[in-house]
Structure 1
Amino acid sequence: MTTATSEDLCTLLDHMSWGHIASRLTPPGRPVRMHSLPPTMWVRPEGRVGGSKAAATGLLPATVDWQAGAVFMADPDAVGVEEVRWEVDGAGAHLSGSIRLTEGPSVTGRPTRDMWDAHSAPVLTSHAAGRALDALIEQGELAKWSMLQRLEEFAHEKVQTIATSICREVADVDDETIAPSLLDAQQLDLVVTNVVYGTRGDSSRILRCLDRCLDPATTRRVDPIRYLTTQIRRDLGDEVRVAIGDPQVGSRVRRVARGLGTGATLERIVERYNEVHSSDRISTSRAVRALTVAPSIESVALPIGFEVCHV
Structure 2
Amino acid sequence: MSLNLASETAVALVVDAARSVEGCNRKHPSLEVLCARLERIMHGLAAKAILKAGDLPERAGIVTLPIWSWEHPLIDVGRKDKAHGTGERMLMPVRNGWDTPTVVLITEETVPVSYRVRGMGHATAGQSKLVRRLGEAPVTAVTTLPSLAEPVFVGSGITARNIAHLKALVKAGEAAHWEVLTDLEPKLRSTVFQAHSFVCYEIGLSTGIVEPMLDELGLEQIVDAMMYGELKDEEAGEREKGKLSAMFRLIELCLEEDCFLKVDPLKYMTKHMRRDAETQIRRRLGDPHIGPKIREIARRHPRAEIADIVEAYREVYPKDRLSLPRARAALSVSPSASARSTLLIPDNFTGSTIFEGSQAA
Q: What is the one-letter code of the residue matched to 1:196?
A: M
* Equivalent pairs, count: 285
Retained in 1: the 8 A contact 2:212–2:335? no
Range with greater deviation from structure 2 (161-170 or 115-124)? 115-124
Change (3 A) 1:122 1:179: farther
Q: Tell me the C-alpha RMSD between the 2 structures.
A: 2.7
Unaligned runs of 5+ in 1: 297-311
1:61 maps to 93
Calculate the TM-score normalised by the size of structure 1: 0.82
Range with greater deviation from structure 2 (183-192 or 102-111)? 102-111
Pair 1:101-2:127 in alignment: no
2:61 maps to 33
1:235 maps to 276
Pair 1:279-2:319 in alignment: yes
Unaligned runs of 5+ in 2: 1-26, 84-88, 231-239, 337-361
Q: CA deviation at 1:47?
A: 3.0
SS of match in other structure, 1:256: helix
1:198 maps to 229
Q: CA deviation at 1:272?
A: 0.3
1:140 maps to 173
Q: What is the one-letter code of the residue matched to 2:41?
A: M
SS of match in other structure, 2:218: helix
Q: Distance in 2 between matches of 1:263 and 1:110?
A: 65
Q: Alpha-carbon deviations, 1:18-45, whole Å to 9, x = none?
A: 1111111145213222111111222222
Q: How does 1:248-263 map to 2 (within 5 A)?
A: 248-260=289-301, 262-263=302-303
Query: Alignment identity in percent?
Result: 28
Q: What is the one-letter code of the residue matched to 1:32?
A: A
Q: Distance in 1 between matches of 2:174 and 2:334?
A: 42
Q: How does 1:1-311 map to 2 (within 5 A)?
A: 3-25=28-50, 26-27=53-54, 28-48=56-76, 50-56=77-83, 57-75=89-107, 78=109, 82-101=111-130, 104=136, 111=144, 117-172=150-205, 179-199=210-230, 200-202=240-242, 203-219=244-260, 222-260=263-301, 262-294=302-334
Range with greater deviation from structure 2 (197-206 or 184-193)? 197-206
Retained in 2: the 8 A contact 1:63–1:223? no
Q: CA deviation at 1:107?
A: 5.7
Q: Distance in 1 between matches of 2:252 and 2:151?
A: 29
Q: Distance in 2 between matches of 1:208 and 1:244?
A: 23
SS of match in other structure, 1:32: strand
Retained in 2: the 8 A contact 1:89–1:95? yes
Q: What is the one-letter code of the residue matched to 1:197?
A: Y
Q: Alpha-carbon deviations, 1:111-157, whole Å to 9, x = none?
A: 4xx76855454532222111111111121112111111112221012
Calculate the TM-score normalised by the size of structure 2: 0.71
Q: Distance in 2 between matches of 1:251 and 1:125?
A: 62
Q: What is the one-letter code of the residue matched to 1:193?
A: D
Structure with max Cα Rg: 2
Q: Distance in 2 between matches of 1:178 and 1:158?
A: 23
Retained in 2: the 8 A contact 1:20–1:214? no
Range with greater deviation from structure 2 (148-157 or 211-220)? 211-220
Q: CA deviation at 1:270?
A: 0.9
Q: Distance in 2 between matches of 1:107 and 1:229?
A: 34
Change (3 A) 1:209 1:295: closer
Q: What is the one-letter code of the residue matched to 2:273?
A: I
Q: Distance in 1 between matches of 2:229 and 2:163?
A: 34
Q: CA deviation at 1:8?
A: 1.2
Q: CA deviation at 1:170?
A: 1.0
Retained in 2: the 8 A contact 1:13–1:143? yes
SS of match in other structure, 2:294: helix
